Structure 1
Amino acid sequence: MNKILIVEDDTIVQDLVSATLGGDQRYTLLQAYNGHTGLELAKREKPILILLDIDLPRLNGLNVCRTLKSDPDYAHIYILILSAMTQEDDIKAGLDAGANDYFIKPFSPLALLRRVDDILDANSN
C-alpha cells in the first residue's frame, strides 16, 4: 500500500492533515513531529509522498528535503512543502532544496485533499 508521511511539529496541523487525508483507502498515513524522525521514517518506509513543514525541531524541512533528493534511493519521493512561510524567497528556497511543490498554511482541507489526489493520480502511472 502507498504511504504518505506527514512531517509537522504542530499537533493541530498534524491532526488536521491526518483527518483530511485519513479516509482514503489508497494509502497509509505515517507521522513525524521533527525533521530527524521524519528523515528516518522516509528512509525506512519510502512513502510515495511527504508533506513536509520547513520550520521543524532537530532538523529543518529544507535539510530533510535536500538529503532525500540528493540520494538516488529516495529522490523519486514526491515532496510537498506545507509551510506558513509565504514570502517569495521562502518558496524559492523550498523548491531549490528539491521540493516538488509548495502549499501554504493556513490551507483549505479540501484544497489539500485535491492536491494530494492530483499528486497520487499523476504518480500512479
Structure 2
Amino acid sequence: MPPSDGWYLLGPFIAVALVGFLGAIFWRMGLQWTRAGEDPLRDLYDGLTIFDHGEDYGLLCPAAATRDPVIAEEIRALLRAAGIRSTSATRPDGRLVVLVFPEAVEEARRLVGGSPAL
C-alpha cells in the first residue's frame, strides 16, 4: 500500500475510536455513581468500623485536654518538672490533648488534677 492513498490513517483512527468507545463504556458502568452524590456501596461497608477507633496517638495516651494552648503548655511544664515526658496534639474539634507514655498516664492524670482530664 502506498502511503499516498490514505490507508495509513486507518490504524490510528481505529485506535482512537476504540479508546473512546471503551472510555464511554467504563464511564457508563463505573463512574456514573460518583455524580449521584451518594455512595451505592455504603451499605456494604457501613458496619466495617474495625479501623475507626477514634483518635489514634500511637504509643501515647491522653492525660489531659484543654482548649487553651497556654494551659496545655502549663500542664506540660508541670509534667516536665515531675520527670514525665509529654507532648501535645490538636483534636479535630480544636481541643489540645496532652499526651504521655502509657506507663506514666496514671501519675500524669493525678498530677494534672484540676484540668479537664480525659
What TM-score do you get using the length of structure 2 for normalisation? 0.27
The structure whose Rg is larger is: 2
Query: Could you say which structure has the higher strand fraction?
Result: 1
